[in-house]
């Protein structure tokens, strides 16, 4: 009797995991198509048992991870999103005929490496400037601007503070230094500061996320955001 019970439990658990894998594959394909991702994301359906969620057509917590995809002209290095309340009917999942997937709430973070940030700024930075952003101290960014002085390239270094304006990261630079002390040098630095406007748009993130915070690390910029009442499939392929 115990052996039979163990066998039944093993079969049920195996069926549960197989069902989860099938649903994860279907949902990953749907996310890739709807969000126009170059690579299939990694999708994990949380919660156990899976079959109970499938029977109700509602998954409590789905984790989506995607890497190296564009949002406009900026390349996002890594995205991790938690989708809460994902609705997929069991019949649609079985027949792989999922067309629309309502999602109650999305919370996620996107990481953009400094390499990706500076690749963007190389083509979209301040006019006539060669500006780059790097990891700094105390939660501030190190900003480097290379300018021409008497035919010689000089690097001006300063600090920048990151803020959000909608889904755009603004880098506010308040200090720059690097030239020998002189009236001419001070005037040049003031002119550079006055014209130094750095904006990094992170618009068009998957799941229509709206950004709520931005932070710095040694490797890059991390933004966090959320969205409610998202419907995958509503934007088409």
What mean pLDDT, rounded, does the chain reach? 79
**Among candidate residues 92, 49, 84, 38, the one with its CA nearest the CA of residue 64:** 84
Residue 115 has a pLDDT of 95
Residue 18 has a pLDDT of 46
On the CB side of 93, how many CA atoms lie within 13 Å of its CA?
25
Lowest mean pLDDT among 65-79, 106-120, 160-174, 191-205: 191-205
Indicate if the pLDDT at residue 9 is higher than 80.
Answer: no
Residue 73 has a pLDDT of 93
- Cα(first)–Cα(last) distance of the chain, in Å? 53
90-148 confidence digits (pLDDT tens): 666 666 666 788 999 999 999 999 999 999 988 876 655 688 888 888 788 888 877 66
**Among candidate residues 58, 54, 64, 62, the one with its CA nearest the CA of residue 94:** 54
Burial of 109 per CB tally in 10 Å (0-12, 13-18, 19+): middle
Residue 51 has a pLDDT of 65
Indicate if the pLDDT at residue 89 is higher than 60.
Answer: yes
**Among candidate residues 112, 68, 107, 84, the one with its CA nearest the CA of residue 214:** 112
142-178 confidence digits (pLDDT tens): 888 776 655 666 777 888 889 999 999 998 887 777 6
**What mean pLDDT do residues 42-48 have?**
80
Percent of the chain surpassing pLDDT 90: 37
**Prediction pTM value:** 0.82
Residue 8 has a pLDDT of 39
Q: Are 110 and 222 in contact (CB under 8 A)?
A: yes
Residue 157 has a pLDDT of 81
**What mean pLDDT do residues 195-224 have?**
91
């Amino acid at each position: 009797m115990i052996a039979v019970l163990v066998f039944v439990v093993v079969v049920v658990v195996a069926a549960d995991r197989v069902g989860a894998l099938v649903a994860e594959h279907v949902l990953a394909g749907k996310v890739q198509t709807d969000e126009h991702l170059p690579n299939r994301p990694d999708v994990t359906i949380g919660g156990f048992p899976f079959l109970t969620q499938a029977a109700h057509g509602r998954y409590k917590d789905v984790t989506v991870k995607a890497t190296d995809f564009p949002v406009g002209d900026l390349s996002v290095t890594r995205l991790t999103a938690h989708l809460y309340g994902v609705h997929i009917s069991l019949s649609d999942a079985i027949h792989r005929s999922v067309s629309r997937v309502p999602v109650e709430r999305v919370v996620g973070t996107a990481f953009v490496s400094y390499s990706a940030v500076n690749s963007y700024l190389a083509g979209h930075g301040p006019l006539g400037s060669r500006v780059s952003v790097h990891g700094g101290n105390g939660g501030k960014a190190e900003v480097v601007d290379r300018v021409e002085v008497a035919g010689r390239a000089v690097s001006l270094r300063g600090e920048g503070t990151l803020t959000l304006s909608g889904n755009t990261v603004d880098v506010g630079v308040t200090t720059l230094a690097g030239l020998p002390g002189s009236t001419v040098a001070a005037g040049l630095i003031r002119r550079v500061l006055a014209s130094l406007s750095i904006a990094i748009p992170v618009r068009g993130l998957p799941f229509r996320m709206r950004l709520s915070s931005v932070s710095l690390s040694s490797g890059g910029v991390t933004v966090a955001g959320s969205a409610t009442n998202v419907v995958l499939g509503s934007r088409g392929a």
